[in-house]
Chain A
Amino acid sequence: MSQDTLTEATPAVAPAIIPDAAPGNTLLRQLLSRPTALAALALLCIILSMAVFAPAFSPRAPDDVDITRKFEAPSMEEPLGTDHLGRSVLARLCHGTRVSLFAVGAILTCIVAVGLTAGCVAGYAGGRVDSLLMRTCDVFMTFPTFILALFLVGVLGSGLTNVIIAVVCTHWAWYARFARGLVLGLKQREYVLAARAAGTRPARLVLRHILPPVLAQMLVMAGLDVGHMLLHVSGLSFLGLGVRPPTPEWGVMIGDAREYIGAHPEQLLYPGLMIFVTVMAFNLLGDALRDALDPAAARETEQDAACAAHGADGFDDPEYPSEYPDDADNDPADFHGAPANAREGAA
């Protein structure tokens, strides 16, 4: 109701809104105009089709052991040869794509869901709920991420599901904090205040007016993190803590191949190359997506991206004001005065 009255009252704004009406369209056009994004998209299409049509690409089943055919050289039948158990390397690579993409997809879906819920509840409810949730986030952000993931897999036991749970547990706090910051900002925006004044119930207010923009931002963040998560999953698998042995996975393949590094280094090459190319393609696309959505901030956030891709700080949070006040640059004496004060303070 409140939405309708607002739009009717301001018809002049309508033309300006039109690009927003089809954000997917312009976004896609923006992305396609960037050569790196185009290359990344093409690569991802190839990788995705490898996952979807894995059986079609595979000469044999990925767990078809034939010890008499171990370390076969590439041939027409086996384009990438066979591994130490005579299994088809190509089949294992293709099926490994499925495992990796599924794991990362599941992880990011869970993280976004948990982060979004926790962030919206904390940001909207405020007060005790907020401080309880944020202190929990603090605790989870205190651990070095990979070490916490290792610890969790250690206590939960190995296996893909537990790896997914572990990575979700180690990363949700950054998303929750980010979402909370966005909610706090949105709460003060005119359209939210207007809806509130019009008597919209809190649940509806959050679902209709706050959730969609927060979700959009978090999806961009998730896009930037795909590569990072993939490295986590394959790293844990490499340590032998991920998928169970017969299941093909890139990290497991590297772990299996390391004993044959002298005689058959190509066994290490293929799965590593797959991880590298996939992570790079997702990173390129994530960067391009962020730049396309926010071209003005693209230059400034270059450094944040490095941090965000890394699952570290660099998010704007109203409670943690920027350490760089805008007026810092305007005061030429600022830096010269600083060391003297610092020394006085230290003495």
Chain B
Amino acid sequence: MPAYILKRLAALIPLLLLVSVVVFLLLRAAQGDPAMAYLRLSRIPPTDEALATARRMLELDLPLWQQYVRWLARAVTGDFGNSYVTGRPVLGEVLHYLPATLQLAGAALLLTLAVSVPLGVGAALHRDRPLDNAARALSFTSVSLPNFWLGFLLVWLFAVKLGWLPALGRGGLEHMVLPAVTLSLMSMGINTRLIRTSLLENMHARHIMYARARGISERGVVWRHMFKNSLIPVLTSLGMHVGELLGGAVIVETVFAWPGVGRYAVSAVYNRDYPILQCFMLLMTAIFVLCNLAVDILYAWADPRIRLGEDRA
């Protein structure tokens, strides 16, 4: 198992390097002349002299690959440059806003699991009954609902009309309810459907028949044999949900004025604060990749066919 984890970690390094190249090049290709952008945002008049100084300072006189290597070397030590707007180090700014986002995404993930697991299992066990229909309606609606609209509907109902929950900002647990529900609904719907399908496929597998034949109680059959095996595809989808939740957080944070890194990144887009955007992009991708790695490791632990297959190869 440790060998498997190490191997997966090692495989990540080239991928993350390529990711950094793409992020670096995209930014360079798209933003035009970074020196001009820097001067405009620092409100320095773009004289030839100022441009030349800015070029030297931003190391734009070096060949592109050297610029990349230097940028990467600094990025690895946590130096992503300074924000064009505040002038403070980018990493500090982004990390300041990150906990709020992780809190929101984590709450949404927990909520997703807390609803979709029982609902999915219930729907599979009571196929074509009211519970199953309700689950199907949820999974169908949730993939079609724009989350920003859903957020406003919830704000209108629970904050404006009923006054039960606060509409905006971050604070106690009651502040988290609406954003977390808004963020998790789509994953909830997809996951419910996935668990239901997976259980139904497993229901007629031979090892289930065998377990029944051995006289194991129905509860034991369902939870120990059907549910555990059905978890495997669900586990894979968890990695995907993390990506959706991180992306969705950008919108949900904007709707609920949640002081997270997604909302901060949107303001960076308005301000054309490229270093912030770059750091945000790399950080989110790293979180996403690491979550997927964690999922893969759990997956290998749960399903030895994968791990043993990899070891033999």
Contact = CB atoms under 8 A, between A and B. Distances in A.
Nearest to B278: A151
B207 A309 contact: no
A312 to B, nearest CB: 4
A264 to B, nearest CB: 11
A152 interface: yes
Contact of B143 (A258, A309, A313): A309
B285 A283 contact: no
A261 B155 contact: yes
Nearest to B274: A155
A313 to B, nearest CB: 7
A66 interface: no
Contacts of B158: none
A208 interface: no
B247 A144 contact: yes
Main SS class of interface, A: helix
Contact of B160 (A261, A271, A276, A303): A261
B170 interface: no
Interface stretch (B25-33, B50-58, B72-80, B127-135): B25-33
Residue of A240, A241, A302, A331 contacting most chain B CB atoms (<10 Å): A302
Given A144-B246, A265-B156, A276 B149 contact: yes
A261 B305 contact: no
B109 interface: no
A305 B38 CA distance: 45
Given A235-B146, A261-B160, A268-B149, A341 B207 contact: no
A342 B148 contact: no
Contact of A276 (B146, B284, B303): B146
B197 A302 contact: yes
B248 A146 contact: yes
Interface in A138-164: 138-140, 142-148, 150-156, 158
Contacts of B284: 144, 147
B303 A323 contact: yes
Contact of A261 (B152, B207, B250): B152
Contacts of B246: 144, 146-147
Contacts of A265: 156, 160
Contacts of B197: 302-303
Interface residues of B, number: 75
Interface string B171-214: 00000000000000000001001100110010001110010000
Contacts of A300: 201
A221 interface: no
Nearest to B192: A306
Residue of A138, A150, A152, A258 contacting most chain B CB atoms (<10 Å): A150
Residue of A154, A155, A241 contacting most chain B CB atoms (<10 Å): A154
B288 interface: yes
B123 interface: no
A153 to B, nearest CB: 7
Interface string B212-248: 0000000000000100110011001100101110111
Main SS class of interface, B: helix
Contacts of B190: 306-307, 310
B277 interface: yes
A244 interface: no
A10 interface: no
B64 interface: no
Contacts of B236: 313
A146 B146 CA distance: 13
Interface in A303-342: 303, 306-307, 309-310, 312-313, 323, 325, 328-336, 338, 341-342
A312 B186 CA distance: 14
A111 B6 CA distance: 36
B250 A147 contact: yes
Contacts of A235: 146-148, 251
Given A144-B247, A239-B266, A227 B143 contact: yes
A228 B144 CA distance: 8
Contacts of A341: 304, 308
Interface of B: 1, 15, 18-19, 22-23, 26-27, 30-31, 139-141, 143-149, 152-153, 155-156, 160, 190, 193-194, 197-198, 201, 205-207, 210, 225, 228-229, 232-233, 236-237, 240, 242-244, 246-248, 250-251, 254-255, 265-266, 268-270, 272, 274, 277, 280-281, 284-285, 288-289, 301-308
Q: Give the 3 A-B CB pairs with smallest separation, nearest first.
A: A146-B247, A272-B149, A144-B243
27 contacts: A139-B15, A142-B19, A144-B288, A145-B247, A146-B248, A151-B26, A151-B277, A154-B274, A227-B143, A235-B146, A258-B152, A272-B146, A272-B153, A283-B144, A303-B193, A303-B194, A303-B197, A306-B193, A306-B194, A307-B237, A309-B143, A312-B240, A313-B236, A323-B306, A332-B207, A335-B225, A335-B228
Given A150-B265, A153-B269, A155-B274, 20 more contacts: A138-B15, A143-B281, A146-B250, A147-B246, A147-B250, A151-B280, A151-B281, A155-B26, A240-B270, A251-B146, A261-B160, A268-B149, A272-B149, A280-B141, A283-B140, A302-B197, A307-B190, A332-B206, A338-B304, A341-B304
